Amino acid sequence: MFNKVLIANRGEIALRVLRACQELGIKTVAIYSQADEDSLHVQFADEAYCIGEAPAAKSYLNIPKVMSIAVMAKVDAIHPGYGFLAENPDFARICEEHHIKFIGPSAEIIEKMGDKATAKKTMDALGVPVIKGTDGTVSDIELIKQWAKLTGFPVIIKATAGGGGKGMRVVRSESELESQLEMARTEAQAAFSNDGVYLEKYLENPRHIEFQVLADEHGNVVHIGERECSVQRRHQKLLEEAPSIVMTDETREKMGSVVLKAIRKIGYTGAGTIELLCDGDHNFYFMEMNTRIQVEHTVSEMISGIDLVKEQIKVAAGHPLSFTQDDIKLTGHAIECRINAENPDLDFRPSPGTIEGYIAPGGPGVRIDSHAYPGYTIPPFYDSLVGKLVVWGANRQEAIERTKRALAEYGITGIDTTIGFHQWLLEQPDFVDGNISTNFLTEHPYQPPVLPTTGPTP
């Protein structure tokens, strides 16, 4: 096993990784920016080093600084968490060159999956269903027009270097095609220095469902079922759950084995996620692969009893998986609410600042992953995640009731949070009935309560 791991991240995920390392008897090295001196991951780590000013480009994204701390502290491995350097193939390659294990797949795989058109082609060739689309990236407008007319509108233009919704354009008629293509290209070039785009048939009200996978370096691959991540706003997920209400045991087994075959064939190692879109007829199509641990990995942990971060670290150290697909039993239902420092009543405006009072909920089935505490200041420089409320219930109904109970116990003063939004969401009949799609929040705009909800006042 590794002796010492550097955690190249901050916030709740730095704490999550630190906890996994501690349980595995691994020494931890934290890095932090000048804005994160008071962060819990700094206090909890065995060693902690300030690596620069608050802006991420000067700290958490600064590869030479991260690497010099890693070399100086003599770590065996680096865990990148999510965001920042987690899916940067150059960083993974530099780690490899320094004989420091990057806890994730190889640089080649990160690169391949980072290019969405290539990833789709790869999955298609391995038998994973994909949405009807152009054969890779395209530029000839006449050929694109021909393809779109043959396929039928609406179609969607996607940036190959994109993902998470950036550089996407929905086109509903031929007359808009050329101008939208131009705009998508310009946007992609500005955002990713890569103007490659591909097109697909547009699915109107899809669900976003993703499979969690885990692969060791000995050819063993398992999936830990799916997550339903359809409730999101401007491509930011707000609530995730597992399992998905539309997944049957039969389809999970079928899709699961298709996904596992592909993962094995590409030689993937570590934890990963296959993102799928699900249409109204419950057909599943490959969308993207995420080569990192995700924010919402917790709901899969709650229904499987598997510590995904510990397993991710163990397979990175070369250990074989200690269980097979048949050993994995999914039990009950889990819901994760992302508690952000944002004001949902003011269009989710960021609300950084000092947390004055803080009472975390508890009781049966409740888990909180958070770096927050009374007196902690949420800096304005990074994402606004204050914590994740993750709740398990024997079934979806109990999980919903328990989440409502836990949200009512959660007391945070001094900043605005999304707690009230989640309380509203869990009362929506369509949510309760499982009638959700990626358009849920455009079809059900959030309504602030007429009377302010009074939580506990810590």
Chain residues in the site for ligand MV4 (CB under 6 A): 131, 156, 163-165, 168, 200-203, 206, 208, 232, 235, 277, 287-288, 438
Question: Closer to ligand MV4 at the Cβ: 7 or 277?
Answer: 277
Annotation marks residue 338 as catalytic: no
Question: Closer to ligand MV4 at the Cβ: 16 or 237?
Answer: 237
Nearest to 341 by CA among 417, 414, 412: 417
397: left (phi over 0), alpha (psi -120 to 50) or beta: alpha
Please, what is the Cα angle at 104 between 43 and 117, to 5 degrees? 130
Indicate the residue type of 89.
P
Question: Closer to ligand MV4 at the Cβ: 167 or 365?
Answer: 167
Question: Closer to ligand MV4 at the Cβ: 201 or 405?
Answer: 201
CB of 279 to ligand MV4, least distance (A): 9
CB of 285 to ligand MV4, least distance (A): 8
CB of 220 to ligand MV4, least distance (A): 29
Question: Closer to ligand MV4 at the Cβ: 26 or 131?
Answer: 131
Contact 240/336 with Cβ under 8 angstroms? Answer: yes
CB of 394 to ligand MV4, least distance (A): 28
Candidates 16, 169, 227, 292; catalytic one = 292
CB of 301 to ligand MV4, least distance (A): 22
Instruction: Tell me how far apart the alpha carbons of residues 299 and 334 are, in angstroms, rounded to a whole number.
Output: 5
CB of 98 to ligand MV4, least distance (A): 32
Q: Which residues pair with 78 in a beta bridge?
A: 6, 102
Question: Closer to ligand MV4 at the Cβ: 185 or 371?
Answer: 185
Q: What is the CA radius of gyration of the chain?
A: 22
What residues are annotated to the active site? 292
